[in-house]
Amino acid sequence: MPTFSYVAVDDAGREVVGEIHAEDLQAAIGRVRDSGNYPMEVREAAAARPGGRRWGLLTRITASDRTILTRQLANLLGAGLTVIRALTVLIDNTDNPRVRDALLRVREEVQTGAAFSDTLAKFPELFDTLYVNLVRAGEASGDLEGVLERLADYQEQQSQQWAAIRSAMAYPMLLISVGTAAVLFLVTFLIPRFVVIFESLGQSLPLPTRVILAISTFLADYWWAVLGGALVLGLGLRWYIGTPTGSLQFDALKIKPPVIGPLSFKLAASRFAHTLGTLLRGGVPILEALETVQGAIGNRMMSEALNEVRDSVREGESIADPLRRTRAFPSLVVNMIAVGEETGDVDSILQRVAHSYDIEVQNTVRQLISLLEPVIILVMGIVVGSVIISMLLPIFDLNLMASK
């Protein structure tokens, strides 16, 4: 649907500038009039905006886009701007065309009288359930600026946590990539050069050499089958993990291995505490908060357990007791929530628990990397060394025969 920019005058004689979506020019003029304004100029936005462009398949909305948008919106509202005026400023200063398109449509809906939170819910690719519920609570409490500030803090914390994990894993992944590339080079390029030499020897080859040669020949002849099989297996696993049963089994499995298991469990506990604490501090009712947390926790096992917790809380129970009965959450989280319920300060307690888990996650990642790096180097050294030695064994045998 085309986008039209317009200049209009409201009932008080003030100039109103905006953009709307409509089927054609006449429909756009009609929509401006329906909003209570008198159109002075209406034309297609692509012609009105210098450098106007359409976004393509490669343009995506990142976590950084969401965080920057939230922080800027909070700052603009804190400066005294209305929601519509703040959206206009954001539209003019947004580089991502998909974000700009969503904000244009949000502003259009709000200008027609729709609630800000209800409008945001129509764009889940940019504003998830957590975002919408917090904005709705901020509208109800009259503290939309404060809610958005806390939401921006939450988003920045999550981004920093994942950035730290990705940064820590960069060097091990580099080692694995270089090691794998070296092995593939030896097996697919260097070893075939030795085949001619070995065939001219006219003697039986050692077992390690025959094994390496068989692997090299197989990869050279059937690389397409190996690559296709790996692709099908990867897509199949991804599909299965996306199903409810597969997701539940995968989340239950990934918390069992040593080191990695506790790390996954702590990450899920941290997200639970951060998200629930942010929602409660923003004024979201407990039942809605628990429902929102289910989609943000990132662990199907914990998410399923929250169904029982919500049912119990709906019947009048506290949060801590049903959480304890599920046995899906760390005892620290449960006990601290119980303390928070006694003192009436659950949201602050949850933020402290989340901060504690963030530190534990950082320490666990450091321990994992300190164990992973020497293991990767050792394994790659053994693999590359085995390949090289297996290629040199026939030459050693030939030298022994020549010396006798």
Element (H, E) at 102: helix 97-111
Please tell me the chain's helix, strand, coil percentages from 3-state DSSP, rounded to the nearest 5.
75, 5, 20
CB 250, CB 241: distance < 8 Å: yes
pLDDT band at 40 (very low <50, low <70, confident <90, very high): low
Q: Are residues 213 and 361 in the same domain?
A: yes
- Does residue 111 lie within any of the structural domains? no
Q: What's the whole-model pTM score? A: 0.65
Lowest mean pLDDT among 64-68, 185-189, 319-323, 373-377: 185-189
Distance (Å, whole) CA 144 – CA 166: 33
3-class DSSP state for residue 3?
strand
CATH number at residue 7: 3.10.20
- Does residue 218 lie within any of the structural domains? yes
pLDDT in tens, 48-58: 444 444 444 44
pLDDT of amino acid 202: 65
- Does residue 59 lie within any of the structural domains? no
Q: Are residues 207 and 347 in the same domain?
A: yes
Q: Which residues of 312-323 are buried (b: 16+ CB within 10 A; e: fewer)?
A: bbeeeebbbebb
More confident residue, 204 or 229: 229
When the pLDDT of each residue in the chain is averaged and rounded to a whole number, the result is 80
Distance (Å, whole) CA 371 – CA 375: 7
Q: Are residues 41 and 187 in the same domain?
A: no
**Which of 147, 137, 98 shows the shortest CA–CA distance to 117?**
137
pLDDT of amino acid 402: 55
Q: Are residues 42 and 164 in the same domain?
A: no
Give the count of beta carbons closer than 10 Å to the beta carbon of residue 152. 20
Q: Are residues 48 and 192 in the same domain?
A: no
Q: Are residues 30 and 164 in the same domain?
A: no
- Does residue 367 lie within any of the structural domains? yes
- Does residue 117 lie within any of the structural domains? no
pLDDT in tens, 269-302: 888 888 888 888 888 888 888 888 887 777 778 8
CB 13, CB 27: distance < 8 Å: no
What's the mean pLDDT in 318-346? 88
pLDDT of amino acid 269: 86
Q: In what order do the strands lie in the sheet with 15-21?
A: 15-21, 3-9, 38-44
Q: Are residues 265 and 401 in the same domain?
A: yes
Tally of structural domains, the chain: 2
Q: Are residues 189 and 48 in the same domain?
A: no
- Does residue 6 lie within any of the structural domains? yes
Domain hosting 15: range is: 1-52
Q: Which residues of 67-97 are buried (b: 16+ CB within 10 A; e: fewer)?
A: bbbbbbbbbbbeeeeebeebbbebbeebebe
pLDDT of amino acid 231: 92
- Does residue 229 lie within any of the structural domains? yes
- Does residue 68 lie within any of the structural domains? no
